Each structure stands twice: as C-alpha cells, then as structure tokens.
Amino acid sequence: MDVVVRDGPAEVAQAAADIVCRLLADRPDAVLGLPTGKTPLALYDELACRCREGAVSFRRATVFALDELLGLRDGDPRSFRATLRGAIVGRVDLDPSRFHSPAGEGREYEDLIVRAGGLDLVLLGIGRNGHIAFNEPGSDRGTRTRRVALAPATVEEMTASFAPDPPPREAVTIGVATILEARRVVLMAVGAGKAPAVARAVSGPIDASCPASWLRTHTDASLVIDAAAAGRRA
C-alpha cells in the first residue's frame, strides 16, 4: 500500500484532488465512491473551486455515497446524503440523477454499482477504531452493503453533532468487499488523533480488528496523510 505524507490537511486535500482530477481527465464518466466526515471537507472545497475554474468536470461522472445513518427523518440536514449534497454534489456540475446513496439492506445498492460499471475510485476516511465507511472492527473482508450497528466509540464521536438529540446507532454501509473491488482506493487521514489507527492499518495484522488493514490486500490502494497522522511531531 502506497503511503503519501504531506505537511498538513491543506496539502492532503490538494493531493487527493489531483488524483480525482487526473481520473476525470482520463475517464470523464468515472464512478466515484465518496465519504462524509470532517477529513474530506477540504478536498470537496478544492474540487468545487477547480470545477468553478473549469479545471475539472463531473458532468459525466457518477457518485455513490459510501454510507448513510439510519433512523433520521426524511430531509434531516444531518443525513450523509444531505451532507454530501451540500459539501460537493451541489457545488460541481454533477447531474443530480447520477448521485446515489444507500438505504435499507443494501442488495439493490450493490446491483446499482454493478450496473454503473463498478467503482473506479473510492475515497475513504478512517475512524479512530480503524473503521472504513461504517465497516466497524469485526467486519470481514467479504462483507457487502448492509445494515450495521455502530460501535460505541463511533456513536460517542457523533454525540456533539446531534446534541441535544441522541446520535443514530445504526447505519447502512458499503462493505469491505465492495471497497476492495474498486479499481483504486485512496484513504485520507489528518491529525495526530488518527495516527494510531493509521499505524495499525499500515503495519498491524491484516484482519477484522482494523478494517482499514484490508486495504493492504488491494492492488492499487494509497494512503494520503499529513505528518501528524503519520505520527511525526512538528
């Protein structure tokens, strides 16, 4: 697994944006799997800026959200669908009909990805417990899009975002196998808080205890991280 270390979050966003832009230049109808969370927000800002400047186009691309929280009312702005629309989908020239997000048990979502031609690129963040999308510790390599219970640590991390309401405890997520079938996978991580998870992903056992470690079995997976996430002190 290729590891690319940049100075800080802005440089990580720029490096990831370069990867997306090169792909869309070579394959304008590329199929992308995109995450939510704090880490990719700077990337989405960069891509939106480049799109406004005419440096990249999403007009023929297709986007699949990696996961979605369950138990939220329709139209809840805290849903991942709404988050992605605000962060990237509504800020570039993507045809809204080409944006998809998972719901229910997930079999139809897997079929939709297959009909789109498969995922060309999946962008990922990493949880502090090593999860990718919402594949929590214990997720086997062969898992597919499915309904999952969120780990207590994940629920705790979301508490502030949902206060005074309790955070969701279930989600639907694409599986580890779904991710590994993508033609290319890029995981982004920034900040010292992610350093232990990154270390486990890169050099720990390749098993379900750290789902991100499964990326080491992929033929074209990269980590794009900042110095802090790499465990380097300023």
Give domain status of residue 233, yes or no. no
Give domain status of residue 234, yes or no. no
- Confidence (pLDDT) at 211: 98
Model pLDDT for residues 21-51, shown as the tens digit of each residue? 999 999 999 999 999 999 999 999 999 999 9
- Confidence (pLDDT) at 65: 98
**Cβ neighbourhood burial of 60 (10 Å; 0-12, 13-18, 19+):** middle
CATH number of the domain encompassing residue 57: 3.40.50.1360
Average pLDDT over residues 97-108: 90
Instruction: Give the residue among 93, 91, 83 at the shortest CA–CA distance from 28.
Output: 93
Average pLDDT over residues 146-159: 95
pLDDT exceeds 80 at position 104? no
Give domain status of residue 135, yes or no. yes
Average pLDDT over residues 13-20: 98
Confidence of residue 234 (pLDDT cuts 50, 70, 90): low
What's the structural domain count of the chain? 1
Cβ pair 134, 148 in contact under 8 A: yes
Mean pLDDT of the chain: 96
Give domain status of residue 231, yes or no. no
Give domain status of residue 160, yes or no. yes
Residues annotated as catalytic (active site), given as ranges = 67, 129, 131, 136
Cβ pair 31, 117 in contact under 8 A: yes
The amino acid occupying position 79 is S
Give domain status of residue 170, yes or no. yes
User: How many Å apart are CA 125 and CA 129, to the nearest integer?
Assistant: 12
Find the domain containing 182 and state its range.
2-226
List strands edge to edge, sheet with 170-173: 67-69, 170-173, 146-149
Give domain status of residue 91, yes or no. yes
Give domain status of residue 221, yes or no. yes
Confidence of residue 173 (pLDDT cuts 50, 70, 90): very high
User: How many Å apart are CA 159 and CA 209, to the nearest integer?
Assistant: 24
